[in-house]
Amino acid sequence: MPRGIKADPAAISVGMPRAGLAIVLFAAAVLLPACASIAPPASKLPVAAPVGQTAALGALTARLAERDRALTSMRTAAIMSYTAPDRHAKARENITVSRPASLRVEAMSPFGVALIVATHGGELEIFEPSKNKLIRAAATAETLDRFVQIPMAPADAVTLLLGIAPDSEPIAARAPAAVTAENIDATSDATMTIGAWPAADGTMRELGFVDGNLAMVRRRNLVGAIVYEVRYRDYHDIGGVMFPYVVEADFPLAHSHLTFNYDRPIVNGQIPASVFDLTPPGAASGR
């Protein structure tokens, strides 16, 4: 990145006029009108299940927690599709993530890198190579929603992209409050087994499994409405770790939908912290 980089502190204010940056991470390619808002498939709250089903689910969550501990980082090329009520976008991206909360996404154009977005150390940075401009903001769920249309804190966004379940270790240590079965989708008779675990704040975490693999992560708010739902499929064995090549996320409150199709991901490679810092050495830090 050139040393002559320009920082734009005004652009990170709450009333930022540059609406085009609202989806800069995932919409660097084509913007088209969307036909309708996207909502996740209808679902029912899990109900109490027989002890045998609870024990079987306990074995699945224990294996999931072990897998999640083994996943620390990922690099991959990907095709991203984004849909919201007023727009649709599809772009080729290079994605790098490292736990607990470091993220870098390069949105590509036919002429090279169109935009880079990164989070590290509680900060979000956006770099536009064509304008040699760097914008900074706090890396929070609010700013990620504003800039990249993912209404999640950075750590949750990293878990989404890594294909792991939030809080899988404490979940594995507890029996589910309820277990049920649900069709994988509206066109299939195949089902997934779903467990529900209440959180300390009164919200609900739900995990769904198909063929022993994590197929769904769902979070409900205090009134039972779905905050987000993430689906995982097309699992491959990468060095002994089962990893999904397709990730789909629905955010009903934001009326948005994301799909990532990964291309030969590399997991658990060494990634230096400098990858997530877009500021060139010696450059002034502006906000």
Residue 283, in any domain of the structure:
no
pLDDT confidence band for 116 (50 / 70 / 90): very high
Residue 1, in any domain of the structure:
no
Residue 277, in any domain of the structure:
no
- Closest-CA residue to 260 (of 90, 124, 64, 39): 90
Q: What is the pLDDT of residues 23-65, one digit of tens each?
A: 334 343 333 333 333 344 444 455 444 445 677 888 999 999 9
Q: pLDDT at residue 269 above 90?
A: yes
Instruction: Report pTM.
Output: 0.78
Q: What is the number of structural domains in the chain?
A: 1
Residue 234, in any domain of the structure:
yes
Q: pLDDT at residue 266 above 90?
A: yes
Q: pLDDT at residue 246 above 50?
A: yes
Dihedral in degrees, nearest 10, Cα atoms 151, 149, 230, 32: 160
- What are the start-end ranges of the H helices in the chain? 51-70, 141-148, 154-162, 168-172
Q: What is the pLDDT of residues 160-201, one digit of tens each?
A: 999 999 888 889 999 888 888 888 877 777 889 999 999 989
The single-letter code of the amino acid at 127 is: F
Return all residues near 130 (Cβ < 8 A) that are at least 6 apart.
Answer: 114
Q: What is the 3-state secondary structure (H, E, C) of 61-124?
A: HHHHHHHHHHCCEEEEEEEEEEEECCEEEEEEEEEEEECCCEEEEEEEECCEEEEEEEEECCEE
Residue 284, in any domain of the structure:
no
Residue 195, in any domain of the structure:
yes
Q: Is the peptide bond preceding residue 281 cis, with omega within 30 degrees of 0?
A: no
Residue 114, in any domain of the structure:
yes
Mean pLDDT (whole number) for 239-258? 92
Parent domain of 233? 21-268
**Residue 263: burial class (beta carbons within 10 Å; 0-12, 13-18, 19+):** exposed
Most confident of 74-78, 165-169, 238-242: 74-78
The residue among 246 and 6 whose pLDDT is bigger is: 246
pLDDT confidence band for 149 (50 / 70 / 90): low
Residue 90: which CATH number?
2.50.20.10
Residue 216 is predicted with a pLDDT of 95
Residue 93, in any domain of the structure:
yes
